[in-house]
Every structure is written in structure tokens, then in C-alpha cells.
Amino acid sequence: MEKATGSETGTGAMSTKKENDADPYTGPCAKRIKTEKDADPTAGHPHSFTVKFPSDPKEHTIDCVQPGTVLRAIKTCHKYDEKFSDENLVIQLGKKDKKHAIATHFPCSCIREDECLILSHEKEKIEETQGQNEEPIQSKEIYSVFSIETVGGENTRTKPFIRSKAFNRFKYLCVYGEKGREITVEDALRRDGRFIDDLGYFTLSDNKDPIKSTGCTQPVDNLDGKEFKLCLEKAQLKRSKKMVREEVKKRIDVIQKTMENNKVSVKDLVEDRVRAENRSKGKSGQSGSSVDVEEMYDLLRKQYPDLKELMMNRFPGDSYQEKLNLRKEDFGKIQQSFSEVHRVRELIKLGESVCVIVNPFKTGSGFVLFDKFILTNAHLFKQCVEEGNTKLKHGTEVYVLFNFEEQHKNYHYFKLAHRNILYCDDDLDYAILQLEPVGQKYNPDTTKVTKEIVPPPGLLKLFGPKPENGEACIIGHPEGGVKKLDPTSIIEIGNRVKAVEDQLEPYKDTLFTLYSIRDLIKKQGIESILVGGNKAEKGTTYNTFMCHGSSGSPVFDAQCKVFGLHTSGYVYGFPKPESVIEWAQPLLDIFEHFVRKLRDNGEEDLLKRVQEEAKGNSDLEEILKKILNPDSDEPIVTD
């Protein structure tokens, strides 16, 4: 490594330079150095780091004795190319393979001793530099430095949040903010210059603990050293911050003018309040108290500007409208939760295909897919199948019960047609069973079989896409008991953390219990379904009393389409388990996987039967076309 000396060390010579020596901060490079306010000349200094320039394998030492930005320090080196544009410069922090990138205005005091900075230059503008360095650089203890992944979390797939694609090669962007100055996350990212201007309201999901979410209005003081994913709000609710602020300001101005034009009315309101207080104390209804109404009104008027500013800060971006919409949405869900009689009647009819599945080890739920085929969860059979196989162990009996709506009354049951189970025991966690052609009806009043029964109609025709929000309804057999129906509401991805915290609210005063529950559900993999998790956008979440024994139940949407396979919950408690949130697998994904397996296994007859059953369902037909006839513009046609 080349050790720079003399003019190449820049600030290193400042304390001993002669009067006629060139000052690197007032010399030829001064026109390219960003303006900074005065700072403590010894804050976090002296220290040194190295820098590598493009097309130069050597590392050049920068000795800092005066605080400033990293760009200001870098420019003291004679190797700095004056053709560079500050807005086009990319600075890599450290020699690790493109892990961190810092802004040009990053405080040099936050660069570790002997750290290496690697420079590159892009053709496009990658950083907005206007107004970034108005504050003096302080010692590193003053700053909270945190990292934001360049691959974002929720709702960032369709809207990039970083200004330039040049940063896609890095894992993190390092961001900083002063502690104790009420600098918010939003303030830090706006000053950073590498993020887009119109982020709107966003949150940061903690990479080490995704159940924790930090809002953009929170101060940066406690974020030092942490790594996050940035999550945006839903695009259809997003409006620019400028638009929302202007709207809020406009509405507040209208209120202000109304108050000014109706001063007597406001006084009357205050006087009415005084009279009411006097009456409650047994005094005369007159306002002859020591309260000066005019003075009270003047005080209110003087507080208005502060109130206005408070409202603008309290609801940054479009969070006010978002919260308002959320309240309306929640009210609508409560009001409409499967309360229409015709819809309940339809669900009860469809629920006839829901069944209890009993094996020697577990009891679960399922439903008729079509004909004699039952769809349920694969995890119900983990202890029943031979190792590395999909065949039931010898002597294992599996019973499927329908019409189990009253305990030990009038249900009918089927056995499996053979020991083979066609199922996928991976992330989709589904199993498909084939029943014997006919079943038997149980009658407690006789010891004889009274009637042979065929399975109810299947639900495959009603498969649909998972909704992002709104109503849902689960029909199943919790704890292996009689059939039950539970209307609920879908918990959107961005609200899952809050939903879990709401479930744990009763334990907030018993910290040991709270930490124990959090540790337990974390071990169960709850982080995978939260913002940034590998399963977050794959399935659907909700709260329901359908817990053990309900795995394999169908989940319906508000139009009575079946979209999910109720699969799991994140549970705690003994002996009676409780769940903080429940999860359903998407049925269209299961259907696609099932069709691929039929195609790959050459099961032509069964595949044709599936095609017949899917007729008229555009979602299923599209999947069939993608798998069986991807190059054709014609729909799949069956004989």
C-alpha cells in the first residue's frame, strides 16, 4: 500500500504548515468542496483512513485532523480527479464485497481507523446534494449510524425507493443522524440524498427482529448499528407528501377563517361551558365567574399556529388519511362480516364438503376437491407415512367423516382407496387423498349400516386468488369436534406485527411471560410471515379460534370463493394453546403445483378430469394453459 505524504495527506499537514503553504481547504480544490458550518476542530480527530481511486490499485492514506465530510477529506488527495461530479460519485465503505455504501457527506469522524473507501464514478446523477451539509461535523459519539438494505421489504417491488440503480450492487446504504436533536428517520433519509423524494409514510423492519417496526417519524437516537429493510405503504393509498400537507393546510386554514369570522360563536361556546360548570357546582347560570372569556379565546387563537404545526408533524405524509381509511375499513368489516343471510346460507351449503380427517396420530380438517379426492395439510400425516415415501405405514387406518355437525349423530365416513398419498411436504404443505367410491352412514340407533353415501360436491370450481384485505371465513373442525364456522378479517402484511402485539397486550405487565411467548413464536418461524420474511407475501393471515384440529380447512372470501388452505398458527400456552396469528396457504399455488405433478407423472386421465372441473374458472384455466399449452393463444379444450 502506498503511504501518501506531503500535499497528498491534505489535512495531516495543517498543524505544522508554513504561512505560505497552500491550504487544501482554500487552494485550487476549494471550489469543489461543499460548504459546512464551523465545528469543533478536534471532534473525533485526528485519525486516518485510506482511499482507492478508479483504475488505481494503490491505497492512498488520508490523515484527518479537522472534522468534515468524507468527500472533503478525499479531495485533499492529489489523486482526486477534478472531472468527477460530486452527485455522480459512489463511495464503498470497507473492502468487503460491496456490502456498504456511504453518502459523500458522511461524517469522516464515523470512519473507523485505517478503514478503506473505494471510489467509483457513474454516468448518472445518484445523489441529491442540495442542502445536505449545513450542520457542522461532530465526533462519532454524536451520530446514530444505521443501515438500510437496498432490497426493500413490503410494497417496494413495484416502486423503487433508491434514486439510482448504481446502488443495487451494494447490500446496504449507511445512513446517519445526530442524536439528541429530534432527527427523525424521515429527516435522515431526506438529507441522505440517495433515496427518492416521495417516499410517503414508510417503516423500517429490523432485520434481526422483524416483529419490530420503526416508523419514519421516530427519532434516530436508538438505531445506531442496526440493519433494516424499508417498507412502503400500499400504492393505491399513496399520495405525495406535498399534496397531503397542502390538503391538511387548506382544511386547517378554512377552520381558522371560520373561527375568525365567528368569534362570537366561539365565545358563546366558552361561556356555555362556564355556565355548565357553574351549574354543576350549584351556582347561577350566569357566567359571572373569575374566568375571562375574551382572554380564553385569545389564548386559543395564539395557540393555533403551534396546533397547526403539531398536526403537520403528527401526521407526516398521508398517514392521516391512511389512518382515517383504516378506521372506515375496520368499521365496514365489523358491519358486514358475513351478516347477509344469503351469504351465510351459501357458506353452509358449501361447508357440506368440509370433513374431519382422523389418523392414529392426528386429527385435522379437509374438504372435497372434486369427485373422491380430498385436499388437506400434509403435516397431518408426517408420523403416518414410511420414511422417504408417500405411502401409509402398514396397518395405518385413516377415516374421513362428513356431516359431523352434532356429536356422534348422523355423520358418514369413508376409508382411503389405497395407501398412496399424493402430496407435497414443502412450503405449500398440502396433501391429496383418494377415498373409496362409497361411504357408510353412522346411526347410533342401530348396529347396522343403514345407507351407502357418496362424497359431497367438490370446491375446486370455486378456487380464486387470495385477497389482500377484507373479509374471510373458515369452516372446519377445531380440536376434531363438530363443524364450526368463523367469520374473520384478513390481516394485511403491514399490520401483522401490530396484530401480534395486540394479542400479547394482556402480558405487557409480566415481562418474563411476554419475552417467553415472543421467543417461542420466534422459534416457530413467525418472522418468515412478517414484513421482509420469505413467506410474507405468499399466504394470508387472520385471527381465528380455529386452532388445533382445523388444519386443512377451506378459507372463503367475501364472495364465497375459496382461496386458502388453513394451515397453521403461531401458538403458546399449556395445556390450552392460544394463537397470536393464523396462516393460510394460497390455493391457486397448490393447484398449480398439483397440475405440474400430474403432468410430470403422466397421469393423463386424472389431468383431463381436472381440466373438466376447471372449466368456467378463469383463474384455473389460466394456470392450466401456462403449464399445458404455454405457446398457444387458444384456451385449453377438453374432450
Residue with more model confidence, 30 or 464:
464
First vs last C-alpha separation in the chain = 76
pLDDT of residue 27 exceeding 50: no
Instruction: Say how many C-beta atoms besides its own lie within 10 A of residue 554's C-beta.
Output: 28
What would the DSSP string read from start to end of 419-482?
SB-EEE-STT-EEEEEB-S-EEE--TT-SS---EE-PPPPSGGGB-PPPSSSEEEEEE-GGG-S
Q: Is the dihedral of CA 403, 406, 411, 417 positive or negative?
A: positive
Q: pLDDT-based confidence at 12, cuts 50/70/90?
A: very low
- Which part of the chain has CATH 2.40.10.10? 342-460
pLDDT of residue 427 exceeding 90: no
What are the start-end ranges of the E strands in 196-352? 202-206, 213-215, 227-232
pLDDT of residue 496 exceeding 80: yes
pLDDT of residue 525 exceeding 70: yes
pLDDT of residue 405 exceeding 90: no
pLDDT of residue 561 exceeding 70: yes
pLDDT at 7: 34
Compute the C-alpha angle 590/627/637, nearest 5°.
Answer: 110
Report the SS3 class of residue 492.
coil
pLDDT of residue 107 exceeding 60: yes
Mean pLDDT for 487-501 is 91
Mean pLDDT for 564-575 is 84
217-221, 280-284, 511-515: segment of lowest average pLDDT: 280-284
pLDDT of residue 373 exceeding 90: yes
**C-alpha closest to that of 435 among 426, 422, 448, 425:** 422
pLDDT of residue 609 exceeding 80: yes
pLDDT at 410: 76
Report the SS3 class of residue 92.
strand
310-314, 409-413, 427-431, 608-612: segment of lowest average pLDDT: 310-314
> Which H or E run contains 563?
strand 562-572
pLDDT at 339: 65
pLDDT of residue 474 exceeding 90: yes
pLDDT of residue 248 exceeding 90: no
Report the SS3 class of residue 619.
helix
Which residues are CB-neighbours of 537 under 8 A, at least 6 positions away? 154, 493
Cell of 438: 362409497
Give the Cα separation of 171 and 80 in Å (integer): 26
Give the Cα separation of 352 and 561 in Å (integer): 15
pLDDT at 287: 43
- Fold of the 342-460 domain: Thrombin, subunit H (2.40.10)
pLDDT at 385: 86
Mean pLDDT for 597-602 is 91
Residue with more model confidence, 297 or 52:
52
Mean pLDDT for 385-402 is 84
pLDDT at 465: 95
Residue with more model confidence, 406 or 337:
406
Residue with more model confidence, 67 or 74:
74
Q: pLDDT-based confidence at 63, cuts 50/70/90?
A: confident
In single-letter form, the type of residue at position 349 comes to: K
Length of the chain: 639
The pLDDT > 70 percentage for the chain reads 71
Which residues are CB-neighbours of 613 under 8 A, at least 6 positions away? 370, 458, 460, 461
Give the Cα separation of 483 and 411 in Å (integer): 11
The highest-confidence range among 93-97, 216-220, 270-274, by mean pLDDT, is 216-220
127-131, 149-153, 213-217, 348-352: segment of lowest average pLDDT: 127-131
pLDDT of residue 213 exceeding 70: yes
pLDDT at 126: 85
Residue 39 φ then ψ, to 5°:
-140, 170
Give the Cα separation of 593 and 124 in Å (integer): 43
pLDDT of residue 436 exceeding 60: yes
pLDDT at 266: 44
Give the Cα separation of 61 and 43 in Å (integer): 20
The pLDDT > 90 percentage for the chain reads 34
Give the Cα separation of 593 and 316 in Å (integer): 44
CB neighbour class for 614 (10 Å; exposed up to 12, middle 13-18, buried from 19): buried
Residue with more model confidence, 513 or 276:
513
Q: Are 494 and 233 in contact (CB under 8 A)?
A: yes
Mean pLDDT for 310-334 is 49
pLDDT of residue 510 exceeding 90: no
Average pLDDT of the chain, as a whole number? 77
Q: pLDDT-based confidence at 160, cuts 50/70/90?
A: confident
What would the DSSP string read from start to end of 256-284?
HHHHHHTHHHHHHHHHHHHHHHHHHTT--
In single-letter form, the type of residue at position 531 comes to: V
Residue 212 φ then ψ, to 5°:
-95, 135
pLDDT in tens, 163-188: 898 898 999 999 999 998 889 999 99
Residue with more model confidence, 411 or 325:
411
pLDDT at 41: 42
